Amino acid sequence: MTKSEITALIVTGLLLAATFAVSLVPRRSPAEPEPLRSHIRAVIQIDRRSSAGALLVGYNYFLLESYAEHNGQTVEISAARRHTSWVDSLKAGKVDMVAIPWSDSLAVDSVLVSRPLDSLSVWLMRYGDNADMKDFDSWTAEWELSEGHETVKNSFLKRYDVFRSRPREVLSPYDSLIRANADSIDVDWRLLAAIIYKESRFHIEARSHRGASGLMQMMPSTAAHYGVTDPLDPESNIEAGAKFFGRLIRRYRKVAADEDERYKFALAAYNAGMGRIDDLLRLAELRDKDSGYWDDVIQVLPEMREESVMDTGAVKLGTFKGVETTRYVDDVMAIYREFCRICPE
């Protein structure tokens, strides 16, 4: 064997060895996208004192729920209290996303800022959550180009006067939920919508000084009874409120003269509580009023306002002014009639 043949053989051996060594090194697959988080903790930090701000809270809640559902993620959303900032909590990792008005986005730093949503608001994420932000921006861009985008946005953000509105096909962003739950208790969905309009103006974050919250202004004890853990959630709030209202309708079925009167008694109890309305009914019967008609029953309200009413034995819960409750019944029934006018079946 010549020297050149020996050299060629050595080179060939080295090449084979190198090829074998390379084959032992794990091959890197093409770059895969970073996985998204499985659960999103989000806060909507938008001033709710104005009607526009309150409506924007509901719109952002809807968008984030839709985004999470699209990705198969779970989501926990809360509304920030007034004069609180969650940006530091975002940076510290206590929450994953924070919604703020677009006009406030220039005042924040050291966070990722989403593309503006309909030129109204932005969502913030931590530095490092680039994959999540990229995916969110991509989804919102597609959403704004989708066929139903304008209709849904307007249902959340366009305000209207019930008593001046022209006929329309949509009363609120929650019409489908309202219809389904109204069907479950066998009432006109527009009556349930009228209750929600009176209670919250379709603002999911509405909260009363008494502690009632959500679209149907459920008191904490009532909400807990019906399994509501998130008062912001439109689905659970409407479902619980509808079940409670259905229970009240059944309670006064044998008392009321007809369907409209049942609605009035149920509305009164929804506002003041069953105990108060039962007191009214007992006193009305004692005074020989026709207890089947709400307008007859409330004729005893002047007596209900006097301490001496306790001497009758008909009243258990004490005096009751009833001004707010009678106005509530009148208002809801008036809104219901208008909803029937502007949104025929």
Closest CA to 87 of 126, 58, 52: 126
Backbone angles phi, psi at 152, to 5 degrees: -65, -45
Length of the chain: 345
Which element (helix H / strand E) includes 78? strand 74-79
> Is 27 within the bounds of a domain?
no
The answer on 179 and 141 residing in a single domain is: no
Q: Where are the alpha helices (DSSP H) in the chain?
A: 3-24, 51-71, 87-91, 130-145, 149-157, 175-184, 189-200, 220-225, 234-251, 259-272, 274-286, 294-297, 301-304, 323-342
CA–CA distance, 227 with 316 (Å, rounded to integer): 29
Q: What is the pLDDT along the chain (345 residues), one digit of tens a residue?
A: 554 554 444 444 544 444 444 344 454 455 566 789 999 999 999 887 777 788 899 999 999 999 999 999 999 999 887 677 899 999 999 999 999 999 888 888 899 999 999 888 999 999 999 999 999 999 999 999 999 899 899 889 887 788 888 888 889 999 999 999 999 999 999 999 999 999 999 999 888 888 899 999 999 999 999 999 998 999 999 999 999 999 999 999 999 999 999 999 999 999 999 999 999 999 999 999 999 999 999 999 999 999 999 999 999 999 999 999 999 999 999 999 999 999 987
Torsion of Cα atoms, 212 then 216 then 221 then 227, to 10°: -140
DSSP assigned state of 256: S
The answer on 320 and 196 residing in a single domain is: yes
Residue with tokens 């989804």: 139
The answer on 184 and 146 residing in a single domain is: no
Q: Which domain covers residue 105, as residue numbers?
A: 39-154
Q: Note the Cα 116 to chain centre separation in Å.
A: 22
Q: Which strands make up the sheet holding 39-44, listed edge to edge?
A: 74-79, 39-44, 97-101, 121-126, 111-113
The answer on 338 and 268 residing in a single domain is: yes
Greatest extent of the chain over all pairs of C-alpha atoms, in Å = 131
Domain boundary among 104, 123, 154: 154
**CATH number reported for the structural domain that contains residue 115 in this entry:** 3.40.190.10
Instruction: Indicate the pTM of the whole model.
Output: 0.82
The answer on 304 and 243 residing in a single domain is: yes
Query: How many domains would you assign to the chain?
Result: 2
Closest CA to 101 of 140, 61, 60, 67: 60
SS3 280: helix
The gap between the terminal CA atoms of the chain, to the nearest Å, is 101
**77 CB contacts (<8 Å, ≥6 apart)?**
42, 43, 44, 61, 64, 65, 230, 232
Q: Which residues are catalytic, by number?
A: 199
CA–CA distance, 275 with 272 (Å, rounded to integer): 8
The answer on 180 and 143 residing in a single domain is: no
Closest CA to 315 of 327, 305, 328: 305
- Residue 204 tokens, joined: 């999911």
